[in-house]
Structure 1
């Protein structure tokens, strides 16, 4: 199973200021990122686990869920994690007009602003689809997308032990941005095993920095 998608190596040729596929390798850091939340069932235990191990991460949140669960967004910010934009509806951008895509992004930015005071947030499009129109818009407006260099495959309906074995055999490297999700218990259950091992081996984990704007 490919946890290091070739497509994102090509995206990595674009400037980091536009498309970020790897984080800084300083301090031996890896970057855990969680998509599709906040979720009242799965996000709190994940936050408990991260707090237990002193790990900071980045959460790419869906606007509709932000509106339903603001207390979880408050907790994410209070505990030092980064807020990212994962669109308002989580519908694929592939068949959307440019106007609709921008509405999804701006509406979610406005919701996130109420929690961290930032006008703009790093953006991760649903299913990873952007399109030339958004790439051009973000380049002109000096905004950035965040992709990933390491896919945990936690969205696959496979036995948890299989995921743990993959993570143990091929762990994220310094600078890797790790794709995970907090709309199921798969990431939590795997990290409950792997975080103590990785930290014991000297790995460190950080939240991604917001862009300069």
Structure 2
């Protein structure tokens, strides 16, 4: 073998080595790309999973009242569903404080008297209203606002928000914005960001959508059968129940259509104050 042949063999070997190195480098790049792609897929899967993992099952709100005066509780599975979605059924349980709320589906002639009692006792409450209520009771809405009460969102049509959430996010949003718009038209103000799900029906998805809209969901830790206008509870037994079930951080749900509630409200407030409770606004919720 002459010198020229040796030089060519050496050059061929060098080229082979360079090609091998390039192939190794390309494989490294390919492996790196593969890792990055896999990471992106995992991250994407996590994001999708975090949304798709939200429970869509319709639930009915309920709580477990206590006989010893301690705050009401909810089962652990309910606690797990509500805990990450700005959802409240209690306020500050370290203090003897009560949050008084009224649901207003329609006007039954008692809201004016309720406002009189609240004003006389210097109590600020929250009224959860639907669109038709605002349209047909503009003067009452203005009075609520003028006297320092919260007028809050209870939806346009009073549907199950769990069912609306299954239709589309846009349909869900419309149940909020419809109330906001008529409220602003009547009062010139923005609606406070508190929402009570109609009929207490909800899902984890509906709670998440509500939070996305900037709202706190307000359930309750006390309620009783006061809503049936044709079967009103006895005033004395109702008053005893309301007062005896008082607990730290209680969120009371009362219906303003109730004749009984209207008759006993003043004495209920006075008795609860005598027991050391104060009444707070939902705006204090943290």
Structure 2 partner of 1:60: 128
User: So what's the TM-score if we normalise by structure 2?
Assistant: 0.64
Runs (4 or more) in structure 1 with deviation over 4 Å come to: 5-13
Higher relative contact order (CA 8 A, sep 6+): 1
Structure 1 match to 2:273: 199
The equivalent residue for 2:156 is: 88
Contact 2:64–2:73 (CA under 8 A) maintained in structure 1? no
Secondary structure, aligned partner of 2:195: coil
Residues 107 and 184 (structure 1), Cα distance of their counterparts in 2 relative to 1, 3 Å cut: same
Whether 1:176 and 2:250 are equivalent positions in the alignment is: yes
Q: CA deviation at 1:160?
A: 2.4
Question: What residue is the counterpart of 2:146 in the other structure?
Answer: 78
Query: Residues 96-150 of structure 1: CA distance to partner in whole angstroms, max 9, x if unpaired?
Result: 4344332222101222234262266211011011224322323444432111111
CA RMSD of the aligned region, Å? 2.8
Aligned to 2:205: 133
Question: Does the CA contact (< 8 Å) of 1:167 and 1:194 recur in 2?
Answer: yes
Secondary structure in 1 matching 2:240: helix
Q: Which is greater in Rg?
A: 2
The answer to whether residue 116 in structure 2 is matched with residue 41 in structure 1 is no
User: Structure 1 length normalisation: TM-score?
Assistant: 0.83
SS at match of 1:100: helix
1:150 corresponds, among 186, 211, 222, to 222
Give the match for residue 171 of structure 2. 100
Give distance in 2, aligned partners of 1:125 and 1:31: 17
Compared CA separation, residues 9 and 155, structure 1 to 2 (3 A): farther
Provide structure 1 residue ranges, at least 5 long, that are not aligned to the other structure. none
Q: Whole-Å Cα distance in 1 between the matches of residues 227 and 64 of structure 2?
A: 12
Aligned residue for 1:209, secondary structure, equals: helix
Larger helix percent: 2
d(CA) in 1 for partners of 2:280 and 2:84?
A: 18
Task: Give 1:35 deviation, angstroms.
Answer: 0.4
> 2:100 is paired with a residue of what secondary structure?
strand
Distance 1:116 1:206 in 2: 25
